[in-house]
Amino acid sequence: MTHTMPQTLDDLRWHQVSIRDKAADGTFVYGVKTTGVYCRPSCPSRLAKRANVSFHESPVEAEAAGFRPCRRCHPAAVQEPATSLMQAMAAYITQHAEESLPLARLADQAGMSPTHFQRAFKAALGVSPREYQAARRLSRFKQALRGGEGVLEAGIDAGYGSTSRVYEAIDGGLGMTPSAYRAGGAGEAITYAVRDTTLGPLMMAATPRGVCFVQFGPSAEALLAQLAAEFPKAALSPAGEAAEGPLDAWMAALAAHLEQAAPRPDLPLDLRGTAFQISVWRFLMSVKPGDVVSYSELAEGAGKPRAIRAAASACAANRIAVLIPCHRALRADGSLGGYRRGLERKRALLDAERRVSAAG
């Protein structure tokens, strides 16, 4: 009897659940959608169908997703000491996010050598202590902005020290300038255009910094409603009413790419997402037409090999279809997976790219 080696983190976890691997207890839990219960990997209960199972890093995450603990295996009581220590250290970093936290200080707090602590923290949390602190500091900064603090005051409270440090540190983390974020995006000027393509109505929208939205939809009205939902406080105007701007030419170049096998236009993009999402999108833009990548390869290319699910979520969050080619990301088994613009469009985009690649 031959066994297929797990290809993704979820594949590995399903294998551990299917063999009721006690060694995996405390490293993750799994939820069963049909029962609403979550269990530890070694739970002796009847094995659920794979399609009904979701994996979670901790009992807290599983309960946040709506699952309740199994009364048979008591998964909330299972926690590896090392994982528990790293979670305590994560809480320590959160409490002191505005301070200077050199690795030596954190390692001393944990009672470990710096190298061992760095390795253990990343294994438990998926990011380095420095990356975790940066994320907590940014979260504190954003919370202060939402609470009405000024950029300088919020930046100092979060530990940035000066406005220049703020702008250096948040590249990609806000998706807009701090002042625009504080105002909820109010006052942002977005111009849009719609045209029919072989794949249906297509809308492109842009700020002065570049394209911020490319989506297919059932109608121009539905696309405008989607744009307004994505940017609820922005000032939206059709391209024809704008005093200036190259949006019509950009739209024509994209349509030529879709309909006439012209090269994908290299347009300026106004990327709005977390730092990790933007790294995923930039990696996708480096994938050659006609090629595809798995979500695990995408996570690795973005610098976080274990963040497979987060990489898939970044694809789903992509507002800029085709220009950021998330249609090139497939499941590990080669199946299409999901696509927010419809699987038929995903298949058509891939088929067209493969034809052009083969002809070249």
Q: Annotated active-site positions, please?
A: 39, 326
127 with 135: CB under 8 angstroms?
A: yes
**What phi and psi values does residue 52 have, to the nearest 5 degrees?**
-100, 5
Residue 254 DSSP SS3: helix
**Which residue in this structure is represented by tokens 């760095």?**
118
User: Number of helices and strands (H, E) in the chain?
Assistant: 15, 10
**Beta-strand pair 37-39/29-32:** antiparallel
Q: Which two tokens stand for residue 222?
A: 């539905």
Q: How many residues does the chain have?
A: 360
Which DSSP string corresponds to 131-170?
HHHHHHHHHHHHHHHHTT--HHHHHHHHT--SHHHHHHHT
Task: Give the contacts of 154 (CB within 8 A, at least 6 positions apart).
Answer: 141, 144, 145, 178
**What phi and psi values does residue 167 have, to the nearest 5 degrees?**
-65, -30
Residue 216 DSSP SS3: strand
